[in-house]
């Protein structure tokens, strides 16, 4: 038998491996469909690649089979509305019905864009049926719900996921062929919804998929961004940002709820009525309108909602007098001010105006969502015919704050309970603390949000009052607790309170002398004591601004705080929130992140999924990923190796076609595909990766062809991700990568031994092509700085071997897949502070190889761009933007040694294929189903409620 990695002339290695034989014993009694998954790019593109690579003109792919003429096919199909359509003929009729009777395009033709819109409407019909059933069932049973608030939901394409979760790919594939279209080509007409950017948003979307699939009662809440973060273009100048246009042709998956509208207020003032109740009046008034997106579960009727808020004002806010007087901008100023809130995800906040807009976004999300949650609680409470009992609120409502962006949901809930519903402070505080929980996603300072106190107080005056009282209440708790020594008390107050660098109330100052009495000599007079307390409690640091610390508010207001990987949760307890952990140790938990195996293996990698299903004997692993561990017993089986290799190669060929289409570069499917895709950030160390590539290129140039082949394997190094528009160092890293690519990829001496690719506008749909084809993936952040990561889990699940540091979920992945199946390098998290101090003390000596790479960049070999501002961050011993804070130089030698081990391993394809299999077999823990079960049981207290 030929070696696994050997190419056999005349044999098309793109042939997919399909499951052999019987229907699976699915625990939800759904028959296994083996041939409904199509290909991720058009069959025609794949067929031409097959010819180019295999050199076999007799290969015939599906795309080359005769198809009926479109006009004839369309005439033969009758337009019949049938929301419950589940076979090819009725699905085709329903598609035709929507093409004719709910048209969004010209009636004179049925082009592929119209085919997508009509197909989406047809699928949505089915989802609406399930959606309504789910809502009625949960309305009747009235269980406790989880409400997941997130500034981001990175959904990806909805059509492919919905058809997959409905298990109707065969029916829709056959129906579309009646119109002369392939399903994959129709899928590609859908733009990704621009509602997120990175791991935070993708995690939220995976969680919604798992919540629906596992039949938990749930709502997702976010904002409907018109222009997203940005669409990334790669030019000769590096990254260019332009507005997303995902809504330009409509979004068939959303349903506007014109009856779900809530008022939102900014500014104004707080007045006290005769009854002593506070009222927030005046200011800017807008409304938030609900747009609902159905989220179907896999192999279940349960379909939950992602509710997105769009901001606007009522028509009467348009100033007709001003308009008719020619003051057109002033006439529409109220509309413009409201609508811009939902224009862009994470608008730049370097200016005061940018900070105000971001704070408006966060409050809009929180206020509209909390009002909606309360309205639903009251509606369902009143079904019994009795008065609303607010004591039951925590038994019906759980609110999860996904990072600090939704922090204002806590004071907003307090405001409504006190000012609108008339509850006492103590009642409202008890309800809030019992309902709200917080997920911390990072240790980076910029993610632990702090708002300027003056801006916050002016924009949200009532919330400032509430937070001020929470802050005072918390400091009083600190002063009367026995968790800290009296000598620590002032320091703890300054570190833990919400309102940083702000005044301390007279009541609290009166408690402080007792703290000092235990550690300081008694003072002569009462006046002297008061003076000393004032000095300790009130003296502001003029260099420090007054801020509202949102993370501290989250920890104080929430009943639970969780990290998202084992190592991250320990850092949260030992460092980020150590004082809070000492105060409330039982409040802190770990919930290691996960990803949905439906989108991230079953649907995006049908060839490998078929291999898995064949060898495990059923497709139950899609709902029970623990079964993937069963692959371990076949890890040395040569037949599995061959099929696994062929499935991987099929994905690599698809990716090669995609890269050619998007970048113009040709890459060989025989090379090692090495991929790093994530947000561009210094701590994620794309700079380390590209400097390693430069080192490799430099060494290759110094070698003869024979030496090159002996030392290295052919490799394609791919990058993807967006640099924030005002993050200049990150944008310089993108520029360096693209300049290196332009040089290396046109070097005839190197040829296919090394290629460098920057994949433009990385998003979910791009990931669905990249990840299945990956063989090595880089997760190389500075240890202790990545909370978890989820792309590492997706790569691992798809049989990709990881190279990385002991950071985030890498630690747990390495434990699960086995140390021998993970390429480890770099300093540990517990060494980082000492290493930075060593650098500051001038004791660090850079590796000569590292210095040679810097010199090579400066030589101009990669063009005339001045990279000194980027390289200077790696130089010096300390200072802002200096001193190699992220330890690129320190970890470089270890990184290069690990990459040498990668080359050695890849030369033995039997060994590498086994490593690949062991990664998939070790991935069960990293399903978001497991994560959601843990949240449900240990934080939210919710149960499953499947629709009968």
Could you tell me the two tokens for 722?
Answer: 């967006």
Q: Is 231 a catalytic residue?
A: no
Q: Is 441 a catalytic residue?
A: yes
Across 431-461, b (16+ Cβ under 10 Å) vs e yields bbebbbbbbbbbbeeebbbbbbbeebbebbb
Q: Is 790 a catalytic residue?
A: yes
**Which listed residue (114, 157, 794, 925) is catalytic?**
794
Q: Is 678 a catalytic residue?
A: yes
Would you say how long the chain is, in residues? 948
Of 344, 313, 324, 332, the residue nearest 244 (C-alpha): 344
**Lookup result for tokens 């109707």:** 168
Q: Is 140 a catalytic residue?
A: no
Helices assigned H by DSSP within 392-505: 393-396, 409-415, 425-435, 453-459, 461-480, 489-496
Q: How many helices (H) and strands (E) does the chain have?
A: 38, 22
Terminal CA-to-CA distance of the chain, rounded, Å? 52
State the DSSP H helix or E strand holding residue 293, giving kind and residue range, or none if neither: strand 284-296
DSSP symbol at 490: H
Q: How far from 231 is each of 242, 245, 442, 729, CA to CA, in Å?
A: 5, 8, 25, 19
CB 669 within 8 A of CB 659: no
Q: Residue 537, class by beta-carbon neighbours within 10 Å (0-12 exposed, 13-18 middle, 19+ buried)?
A: middle
**Which listed residue (599, 654, 684, 732) is catalytic?**
684
CB 317 within 8 A of CB 335: yes
The Cα 262–Cα 286 span in angstroms is 9
**Lookup result for tokens 């090579």:** 856
Could you tell me the two tokens for 438?
Answer: 């917080």
Enumerate residues 6+ apart whose C-beta is below 8 A from 146.
Answer: 211, 216, 217, 218, 219, 398, 399, 400, 935, 936, 940, 942
Across 35-58, b (16+ Cβ under 10 Å) vs e yields ebbbbbbbbebbbebbeebbeeee
Chain CA centroid to CA 251, Å: 21
The Cα 177–Cα 384 span in angstroms is 52
**Which listed residue (124, 678, 685, 890) is catalytic?**
678
**Which listed residue (46, 124, 335, 441) is catalytic?**
441
Enumerate residues 6+ apart whose C-beta is below 8 A from 144.
Answer: 217, 395, 396, 397, 398, 940, 941, 942, 943
The Cα 512–Cα 698 span in angstroms is 64
The Cα 571–Cα 771 span in angstroms is 29
CB 796 within 8 A of CB 920: yes
Residue 121, beta-bridge partner list:
none
Q: Is 638 a catalytic residue?
A: no
CB 182 within 8 A of CB 43: yes
The CA angle 337-339-342, to the nearest 5 degrees, is 120
CB 730 within 8 A of CB 677: no
SS (H, E, C) 164-225: HHCCCHHHHHHHHHHCCCCHHHHHCCCCCCCCCCCHHHHHHHHHHHHHHHCCCCEEEEEECC
Listing DSSP states for 818-838 in one string gives -GGGEEE-S--GGGHHHHHHH
**Which listed residue (134, 407, 625, 790) is catalytic?**
790
**Which listed residue (46, 415, 679, 685) is catalytic?**
679
Could you tell me the two tokens for 360?
Answer: 């408006």
676 φ, ψ (degrees, to nearest 5): -130, 110
Catalytic residue positions, numbered:
441, 678-679, 684, 790, 794
């Amino acid at each position: 038998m030929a070696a696994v990695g050997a190419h056999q002339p005349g044999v098309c290695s793109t042939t997919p491996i399909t499951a052999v034989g019987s229907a699976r014993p699915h625990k939800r009694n759904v028959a296994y469909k083996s041939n409904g998954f199509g290909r991720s790019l058009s069959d025609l593109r794949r067929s031409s690649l097959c010819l180019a690579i295999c050199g076999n003109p007799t290969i015939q792919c599906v795309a080359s089979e005769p198809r009926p003429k479109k006009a004839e096919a369309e005439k033969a199909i009758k337009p019949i509305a049938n929301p419950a359509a589940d076979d090819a003929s009725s699905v085709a009729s329903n598609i035709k019905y929507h093409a004719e009777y709910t048209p969004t395009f010209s009636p004179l033709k049925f082009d592929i864009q119209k085919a997508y819109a009509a197909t989406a409407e047809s699928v949505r019909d089915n989802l609406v049926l399930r959606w309504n059933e789910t809502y009625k069932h949960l309305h009747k049973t009235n269980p406790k719900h989880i409400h997941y608030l997130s500034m981001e939901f990175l959904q990806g394409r909805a059509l492919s996921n919905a058809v997959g979760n409905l298990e109707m790919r065969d029916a829709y594939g056959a129906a579309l062929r009646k119109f002369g279209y392939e399903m994959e080509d129709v899928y590609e007409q859908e733009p990704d919804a621009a509602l997120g950017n990175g791991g935070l948003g993708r995690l939220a979307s995976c969680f919604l998929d798992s919540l629906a699939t596992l039949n938990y009662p749930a709502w997702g809440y976010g904002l409907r961004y018109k222009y997203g973060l940005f669409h990334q273009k790669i030019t000769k100048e590096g990254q260019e940002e332009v507005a997303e246009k995902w809504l330009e042709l409509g979004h068939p998956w959303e349903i506007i709820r014109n009856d779900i509208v809530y008022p939102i207020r900014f500014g104004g003032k707080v007045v006290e009525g005769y009854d002593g109740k506070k009222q927030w009046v005046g200011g800017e008034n807008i409304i938030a309108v609900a747009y609902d997106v159905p989220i179907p579960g896999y192999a279940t009727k349960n379909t939950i909602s992602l509710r997105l808020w769009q901001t606007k004002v009522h028509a009467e806010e348009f100033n007709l007098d001003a308009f008719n007087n020619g003051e057109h901008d002033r006439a529409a100023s109220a509309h413009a001010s409201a609508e811009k809130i939902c224009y862009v995800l994470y608008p730049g906040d370097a200016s005061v105006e940018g900070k105000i807009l971001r704070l408006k976004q966060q409050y809009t999300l929180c206020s509209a969502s909390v009002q909606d949650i309360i309205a639903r609680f009251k509606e369902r409470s009143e079904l019994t015919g009795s008065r609303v009992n607010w004591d039951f609120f925590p038994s019906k409502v759980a609110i999860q704050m996904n990072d600090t962006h939704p922090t204002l949901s806590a004071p907003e809930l307090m405001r409504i309970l006190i000012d609108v519903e008339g509850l006492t402070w103590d009642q409202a505080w008890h309800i809030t603390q019992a309902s709200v929980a917080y997920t911390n996603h990072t240790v980076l300072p910029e993610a632990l949000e702090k708002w300027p106190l003056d801006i916050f107080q002016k924009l949200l005056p009532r919330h400032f009052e509430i937070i001020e009282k929470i802050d005072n209440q918390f400091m009083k708790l600190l002063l009367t607790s026995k968790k800290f020594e009296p000598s620590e008390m002032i320091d703890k107050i300054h570190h833990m309170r919400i309102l940083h660098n702000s005044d301390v109330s007279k009541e609290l100052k009166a408690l402080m002398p007792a703290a000092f009495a235990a550690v300081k000599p008694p003072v002569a007079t009462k006046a002297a004591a008061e003076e000393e307390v004032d000095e300790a409690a009130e003296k502001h640091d003029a260099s420090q601004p007054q801020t509202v610390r949102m993370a501290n508010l989250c920890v104080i207001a929430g009943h639970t705080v969780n990290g998202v990987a084992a190592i991250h949760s320990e850092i949260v307890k030992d460092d980020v929130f150590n004082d809070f952990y000492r105060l409330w140790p039982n409040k802190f938990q770990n919930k290691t992140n996960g990803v949905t195996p439906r989108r991230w293996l079953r649907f995006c990698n049908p060839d490998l999924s078929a291999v898995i299903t064949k060898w495990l004997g059923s497709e139950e692993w899609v709902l029970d990923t623990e079964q993937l561990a069963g692959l371990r017993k076949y890890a040395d089986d040569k037949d599995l190796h061959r099929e696994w290799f062929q499935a991987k190669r099929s994905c690599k060929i698809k990716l090669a076609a995609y890269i050619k289409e998007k970048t113009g570069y040709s890459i060989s499917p025989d090379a090692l595909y090495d991929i790093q895709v994530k947000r561009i950030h210094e701590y994620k160390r794309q700079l380390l990766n590209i400097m390693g590539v430069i080192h490799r290129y430099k060494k290759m140039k110094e070698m003869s062809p024979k030496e090159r082949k002996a030392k290295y394997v052919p490799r394609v190094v791919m990058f993807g991700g967006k640099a924030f528009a005002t993050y200049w160092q990150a944008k310089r890293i993108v520029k360096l990568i693209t300049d290196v690519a332009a040089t290396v990829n046109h070097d005839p001496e190197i040829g296919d031994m090394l290629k460098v690719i920057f994949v433009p506008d990385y998003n979910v749909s791009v990931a669905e092509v990249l990840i299945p084809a990956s063989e090595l993936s880089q997760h190389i952040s500075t240890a202790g700085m990545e909370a978890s990561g989820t792309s590492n889990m997706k790569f691992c699940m798809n049989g990709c071997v990881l190279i990385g540091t002991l950071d985030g979920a890498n630690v747990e992945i390495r434990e699960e897949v086995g140390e021998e199946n993970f390429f480890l390098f770099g300093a540990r998290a517990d060494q980082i502070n000492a290493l930075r101090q060593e650098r500051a003390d001038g004791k660090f000596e850079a590796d000569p190889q590292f210095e040679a790479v810097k010199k090579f960049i400066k030589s101009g070999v990669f063009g005339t761009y001045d990279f000194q501002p980027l390289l200077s961050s790696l130089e010096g011993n300390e200072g802002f933007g200096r001193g190699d804070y992220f330890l690129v130089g320190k970890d470089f030698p270890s990184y290069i040694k690990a990459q040498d081990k990668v080359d050695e391993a890849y030369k033995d394809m039997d060994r590498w294929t086994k490593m690949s299999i062991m990664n998939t077999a070790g991935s069960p823990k990293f399903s978001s189903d497991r994560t959601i079960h843990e949240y449900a049981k240990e934080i939210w207290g919710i149960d499953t409620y499947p629709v009968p």
